[in-house]
Amino acid sequence: MIKIRKFNEEFYDGMLYDDTYHEIFINPTKEELDIVYAETLTNTNYYFGNIRFLAKNNTKKLYVFNGEMLHDIAIRKIFNADSKILTDSFFEMFGGSIKKENNNYIVDDSDSLESDIHIISDDPIDYIKFLLEIDWSWIDNYIIFSPWWEIKMIPNLKKQLEEIEKELE
């Protein structure tokens, strides 16, 4: 049986991944975040309850999808590109994960930013500087973002930048 739901303009696309249909939303409403979150509760692996996101600054678009679908899979679907664009400042984006807490959706992690960025990026200094220069507060229109960014990511990125620059001396 096929269920038909009415979507507004925020619905982007869906795809079959690991034999499960996953929906992708752009600039999601609370209801759309609830749809993706409910989908994550059926996961049986590590990503149970997580939502992933891609934030694209130059278009001010926030893409959200089930945490079971990895960022590189979503990038191929949405942008028809290799996942390397995630750490290329030209593409103006980064990815992370969202958790639900007290009926709010809050950014809680970003593997792509907290891992060894100098290994995954072709130009980590340029990418980190780009991330630090951008005003990402537009993301707060959709999820709670800025506290995590200010408290966790800015110090982390500054530390990574300092360490990479020391290595290059």
How much is the pLDDT for 16? 52
Q: What's the whole-model pTM score?
A: 0.85
Q: Is residue 1 part of a domain?
A: no
Q: For position 124, what pLDDT does the model report?
A: 87
**Position 4 in a domain:** no
Number of structural domains, the chain? Answer: 1
**Position 5 in a domain:** no
Q: Which residues of 114-134 are buried (b: 16+ CB within 10 A; e: fewer)?
A: eeebbebbeebbebbebbeee
Residue 57 falls inside a structural domain: yes
Does 3 reside within a domain?
no
CB 98 within 8 A of CB 53: yes
Which residues of the chain register pLDDT less than 70?
A: 1-21, 42-49, 112, 114-116, 118-119
Does 106 map to a domain? yes
Q: Is residue 139 part of a domain?
A: yes
Residues 6 or more apart whose Cβ sits within 8 Å of residue 122: 84, 87, 88
Residue 107 domain-assigned? Answer: yes
Residue 15: predicted pLDDT: 58
Q: What is the pLDDT of residues 79-102, one digit of tens each?
A: 989 888 888 899 999 999 999 999
Determine the structural domain holding residue 93 and report its residue range: 11-168
